[in-house]
Amino acid sequence: MAKPARAWQRMLSGRRLDLLDPTPVDIEVEDIAHGLAFVARWNGQTIGDFAYSVAEHSLLVEQIFGRQNPGMPAKWHLAALLHDAPEYVIGDMISPVKSAVGPAYGELDARLTAAVHLRFGLPAALPPAIKKAIKTADRISAWLEAIQIAGFTRTEADRYFGRPDAQVINGLEIRLRPPVEVRTAYTARHRELLDAMAVIHEPGTRV
């Protein structure tokens, strides 16, 4: 009888994450940051001397989310930062490939997302309004990436991702940095948001 296929991956932290049945205790931000810093967006088809990583993209999405939603609690900023966290183990697929793969990819992504959220004090499933707001920020980031580093014309970017509000993207530029720098920036921002969530505020103050 053939042995069942291995469904777990060993992380540099020493954790063994079961991709089919992930648990929060096997998730560490250092593993996420390291993995995402080495996963290239756009299948690596971007200009520059460094790949544009999912970690860098996640930092930009969280920044855009904040611009669009001033005063939002830190926990939802954390959700924005972690929106692509599952890709540290399943990689980044461009949208056409996801469509070709079908619902199996989405189901795997959803299980991993839920485990990541629970690990860091977020609800397994985000409120629809928050999920929509993060998705909007994600599309704006994609528009910026498309025209700045992926070779799209503005007309093409508008068609596929929607034209963003000029005020929201004012001054935003895509950053291309060595993976070690992006990894450090990601973990630092993650720590800042966790610290903000842990602060005790006066009643009625949003965290």
The amino acid present at 170, given as its one-letter code, is N
pLDDT of residue 107: 87
Asked if residue 5 is part of any domain, the answer here is no
Q: Which two tokens stand for residue 152?
A: 């799209």
Asked if residue 11 is part of any domain, the answer here is no
pLDDT of residue 52: 97
The Cα–Cα gap between 149 and 146 comes to 6
Asked if residue 20 is part of any domain, the answer here is no
pLDDT tens-place values along the chain, 207 residues long: 656 667 888 999 999 999 889 999 999 999 999 999 999 999 999 999 999 999 999 999 999 999 999 999 999 999 999 999 999 998 877 666 666 666 677 888 999 999 999 999 999 999 999 999 999 999 999 999 999 999 999 999 999 999 999 999 999 999 899 999 999 999 999 999 999 999 844 444 444
**Domain hosting residue 75, numbered range:** 26-198
Q: Which of 133, 49, 122, 48 is nearest to 85 (CA)?
A: 122
Asked if residue 142 is part of any domain, the answer here is yes
Helix boundaries (H) for 6-48? 29-37
Q: Are the C-beta atoms of residues 38 and 53 closer than 8 Å to each other?
A: yes
- Structural domains in the chain (count): 1
pLDDT of residue 139: 97
Q: Which of 12, 17, 19 is nearest to 37 (CA)?
A: 12
pTM summary value: 0.90
The Cα–Cα gap between 143 and 152 comes to 9
| Token pair 């006066």: residue | 202
Q: Is 29 helix (H, G, I), strand (E, B) or coil?
A: helix
